[in-house]
A and B are shown apart, each in its own frame.
Chain A
């Protein structure tokens, strides 16, 4: 048994210490908003926040998450940045198949939490770990800029 903090709640999980947080969330806790894409931290579909920083949960063992705050897509509407990002994603109608978008939103939210005026280079830097096979990249970029504008009162 391990205790982890997910979206502000303490959760008891019965999983081996090497189990990636991705599978703890999905299979143990039934939180399926975080997606499996590659299992090797190459695609970003599984991105969550660990103490506010974006991490690839497919490669983060449970043992390394104990004592830290995990935040998932399911809690993003509860934060001002997450709410702004989700609103801009809706306004831009970003998703197509949508499978990568939880991870995209987690990466974008982490970027905007520390940088309210990201340049294109900042966006490339923060988002190039997230693959979108439908090719919504230009809409993702537009949505990040729109969310940034709304967060800094420029909307």
Chain B
């Protein structure tokens, strides 16, 4: 799992698994080698209908021509259950109206090539599967052509394919459904030729999502919807403070609640198991527990802030240098510190997992982002071989990185093992908010050395924050001392400053941190793009022109910046009181620029009137899905910018439900325009990159409106009050 180290960087990643998957992907003998095994049907025991023929692990074709794509990636709203089928269908020349999608079981065949394990996250799905899934389609197509050629006793070279049919030069046609059985017996081609983009008929089109129909009539099944015979529902009293311990508990009152069946203690707390959620929750609420808060019982947000500020004030491990900042003798210096809080992911579907550990095997039903790791974890808990652990992935009611974490899976498996029955563990909303998997809090201190004209001679940043790598349980900070998740978005900023130094100062207040939509970029691009705006002001330059002038060696950033500015009408008059801000950011291989139009009322409240976003995410599978993901990430970022804040008092989280951890609602959301930069580059991610530029674009607009620089998230609008 070491490759997760680079998951947000859009780099070509060399792992054993990736090499296995994409062995020698270069051109060979006029085609691309397939480069990976296509496992046979029997090993995967796919739930195929009797009329279905399994072509390979990713594709079945029914007698009526229906093509079922088996997708190993989790659908959490990002559209992967449409995009992966589009990749296969394109090269297969499938009839899109007959393409269906089905969730895969856990199996090595479905390893994410970027992670080297079956998991969904880091905006990797299209980056990792753009070529492999097209090869799957191309290989299947070649096998269908071979089958038709064999049937007709003609050379395969005389056959072509179109919309689910093989067509011979004589005009004879055979539908894929009729050919599937014999196609499955054809040898898998060693090389395949992928289409030139100019020949695409499916990729690049705004095809409708395959998962929409069940999501409008209540039939879509999420993890929380699982029901098994004999199943009990568990609600837990979880550790209120990191590292806390149960000293003792009294379950008498809990057990008196009708429907409560068992009360069990596991390492993460005490669980009440009942016939349904309501009885389990009432039982949980009736537990009397003595906790020992341990050393974390003194933690407060003020102490965390102080630790972070202290960290940012001292030199850290060097993440990036250009030239020599110490040699610069600036005419004047610009300095500023920025801060962001811990954040909860807050998926709409509260975390949950159903487990059944029994008779030498284990089965999980869950909306998880990490099937591969979950299989290993559950095998250890259940004491069975990994192959004896089945993972059934349901729709995820939001993921955002949170459902990559193992806590709900571990606890459900432990409870089922102890209870001897299937257990559905459900977090209350408050449990979900207080589960200690947070976006890191952080403070970054910037210094810019300017010449007399305000031109930057040096740029330094010290990033103080906890380490996700060390918190994750499966990664370590490398010998250079830099957790790149902590500095991404700052260390790799695009600007052409002659002397630079970016440090990482690790600060560990004792709160576990985790991957949160766009990870380090979520706060670092806010910090950096706000400070660069301060530098533009110090140079007396327009914020757009200032950035543009420093991006001469960054054509993709610059194109996104220019497109956003042009579509937003940068420099053109706005209604009285409305002001613009601009920001850019690259994450997960995609380049995004956003312009926000903002007004500030006399009471300090902010209204965002419009957001214009430009994205270069390379070649595009489905433009509508790209646009919706940008919009989704912008609104997710808007909640973080306006409201998002997990605070601590006496070691406990002060937020619980949506009253104390509010979300942006429909009445607050501005019109959002997304424009895609035409690109022939390889695909970048789209689930996360829309988020980071939003907060700085708004902060920069607030500065334009008021002359006040907000350097903390969420925005403290009381500073903007005009008395």
- Say yes or no: B218 contacts A74, CB within 8 Å: yes
Q: Which residues of B contact A74 (CB under 8 A)?
A: 217-219
Pick from A34, A124, A131 the residue with the most CB of B within 10 Å.
Answer: A131
Is A19 interfacial (CB-CB < 8 Å)? yes
- Cβ-defined partner of B215 (8 Å) among A39, A95, A128, A135: A95
Q: Which residues of B contact A129 (CB under 8 A)?
A: 665
Give the CA-CA distance A73 to B225 in the complex, in Å.
14
Give the CA-CA distance A132 to B279 in the complex, in Å.
28
- Say yes or no: A97 contacts B348, CB within 8 Å: yes
- Say yes or no: B663 contacts A131, CB within 8 Å: yes
Chain A, Cβ-Cβ closest to B430: A39
Q: Which residues of B contact A72 (CB under 8 A)?
A: 218
The segment out of B71-79, B261-269, B378-386, B447-455 that lies at the interface is B71-79
Is A112 interfacial (CB-CB < 8 Å)? no
- Say yes or no: A33 contacts B217, CB within 8 Å: yes
Interface string of B69-88 (1 = CB under 8 A from A): 00000011111000000000
- Cβ-defined partner of A105 (8 Å) among B216, B398, B628: B216
Give chain B nearest CB distance to A81 CB in angstroms.
14
Q: Which residues of B contact A128 (CB under 8 A)?
A: 665-667
- Say yes or no: A20 contacts B218, CB within 8 Å: no
Is A2 interfacial (CB-CB < 8 Å)? no
Give chain B nearest CB distance to A133 CB in angstroms.
5
Give the CA-CA distance A20 to B526 in the complex, in Å.
42
- Say yes or no: A90 contacts B396, CB within 8 Å: no
Is B35 interfacial (CB-CB < 8 Å)? no
Q: Which residues of A contact B634 (CB under 8 A)?
A: 135
Is B365 interfacial (CB-CB < 8 Å)? no
Give the CA-CA distance A101 to B277 in the complex, in Å.
22
- Say yes or no: B659 contacts A135, CB within 8 Å: no
Chain B, Cβ-Cβ closest to A123: B666
Question: Mostly helix, strand, loop or mixed at chain A's interface?
Answer: loop
Is B278 interfacial (CB-CB < 8 Å)? yes
Is B193 interfacial (CB-CB < 8 Å)? no
Q: Would you list which residues of chain B between 201 and 220 have a CB under 8 Å from chain A?
A: 208-209, 211-220
- Say yes or no: A42 contacts B658, CB within 8 Å: yes
Q: Which residues of B contact A40 (CB under 8 A)?
A: 429, 657-659
- Say yes or no: A26 contacts B631, CB within 8 Å: no
Is A136 interfacial (CB-CB < 8 Å)? yes
Known: A20-B278, A95-B216, A128-B666. A133 touches B347 (CB 8 A): yes
Is A110 interfacial (CB-CB < 8 Å)? no
- Cβ-defined partner of A99 (8 Å) among B222, B635, B657, B659: B222
Is B361 interfacial (CB-CB < 8 Å)? no
Q: Would you list which residues of chain B between 333 and 374 have a CB under 8 Å from chain A?
A: 346-350
Is B276 interfacial (CB-CB < 8 Å)? yes
- Say yes or no: A23 contacts B277, CB within 8 Å: yes
- Cβ-defined partner of B212 (8 Å) among A16, A43, A93: A93
Q: Would you list which residues of chain B between 191 and 238 have a CB under 8 Å from chain A?
A: 208-209, 211-222, 224-225, 227, 233
Give the CA-CA distance A23 to B278 in the complex, in Å.
7
Q: Would you list which residues of chain B between 394 and 422 have a CB under 8 Å from chain A?
A: 395-400
Give the CA-CA distance A74 to B233 in the complex, in Å.
23
Pick from A90, A97, A101 the residue with the most CB of B within 10 Å.
Answer: A97
A-B contact count (CB 8 A): 182
Pick from B78, B217, B221 the residue with the most CB of A within 10 Å.
Answer: B217
Give the CA-CA distance A96 to B631 in the complex, in Å.
11
Is A6 interfacial (CB-CB < 8 Å)? no
Known: A40-B659, A98-B211. A140 touches B666 (CB 8 A): yes
Chain B: how many interface residues by the 8 Å CB criterion? 65
Is A134 interfacial (CB-CB < 8 Å)? yes
Give chain A nearest CB distance to B458 CB in angstroms.
39
- Say yes or no: A97 contacts B396, CB within 8 Å: yes
Q: Would you list which residues of chain B between 91 and 129 have a CB under 8 Å from chain A?
A: none
Give chain B nearest CB distance to A94 CB in angstroms.
8
Give the CA-CA distance A94 to B275 in the complex, in Å.
35
Give the CA-CA distance A28 to B233 in the complex, in Å.
12
Give chain B nearest CB distance to A18 CB in angstroms.
8
Pick from B214, B632, B634 the residue with the most CB of A within 10 Å.
Answer: B632
Is A127 interfacial (CB-CB < 8 Å)? yes
Interface string of A16-45 (1 = CB under 8 A from B): 100110010011101111111111101101
Is B636 interfacial (CB-CB < 8 Å)? yes
Known: A38-B429, A42-B659, A45-B348. A86 touches B217 (CB 8 A): yes
Pick from A33, A95, A128 the residue with the most CB of B within 10 Å.
Answer: A95
- Say yes or no: A131 contacts B79, CB within 8 Å: no
- Say yes or no: B77 contacts A98, CB within 8 Å: yes
Give chain B nearest CB distance to A89 CB in angstroms.
4
- Cβ-defined partner of B348 (8 Å) among A34, A105, A131: A131
Interface string of B621-639 (1 = CB under 8 A from A): 0001000100111111010
Q: Which residues of A contact B77 (CB under 8 A)?
A: 95-98, 134
- Say yes or no: A124 contacts B348, CB within 8 Å: no
Q: Which residues of B contact A137 (CB under 8 A)?
A: 635, 665-666, 669
Give the CA-CA distance A96 to B281 in the complex, in Å.
29
Give chain A nearest CB distance to B329 CB in angstroms.
48
Is A15 interfacial (CB-CB < 8 Å)? yes
- Cβ-defined partner of A15 (8 Å) among B76, B216, B278, B398: B278
Give the CA-CA distance A150 to B277 in the complex, in Å.
40
Give the CA-CA distance A21 to B296 in the complex, in Å.
39
Q: Which residues of B contact A43 (CB under 8 A)?
A: 348, 429, 658, 663
Q: Which residues of B contact A90 (CB under 8 A)?
A: 208, 212-213, 216
Give the CA-CA distance A74 to B216 in the complex, in Å.
9
Known: A23-B277, A98-B220, A133-B663. A30 touches B398 (CB 8 A): no
Known: A39-B428, A135-B631. A127 touches B216 (CB 8 A): no
Give the CA-CA distance A124 to B668 in the complex, in Å.
9
- Say yes or no: A27 contacts B216, CB within 8 Å: no
Known: A27-B233, A90-B212, A123-B666. A32 touches B658 (CB 8 A): no
Is A100 interfacial (CB-CB < 8 Å)? yes
What are 22 contact pairs spanning A and B, CB under 8 A? A16-B258, A16-B278, A23-B278, A27-B277, A30-B227, A32-B224, A37-B349, A37-B350, A40-B657, A40-B658, A89-B216, A93-B209, A93-B212, A96-B632, A97-B395, A98-B77, A98-B211, A99-B222, A127-B666, A134-B77, A134-B348, A138-B669
Name 10 extra pairs, CB < 8 A, besides A19-B278, A135-B634: A30-B227, A35-B222, A35-B224, A90-B212, A94-B216, A97-B77, A98-B395, A99-B347, A130-B665, A131-B658
Lowest 3 A-B CB distances belong to which pairs?
A33-B218, A135-B635, A99-B397
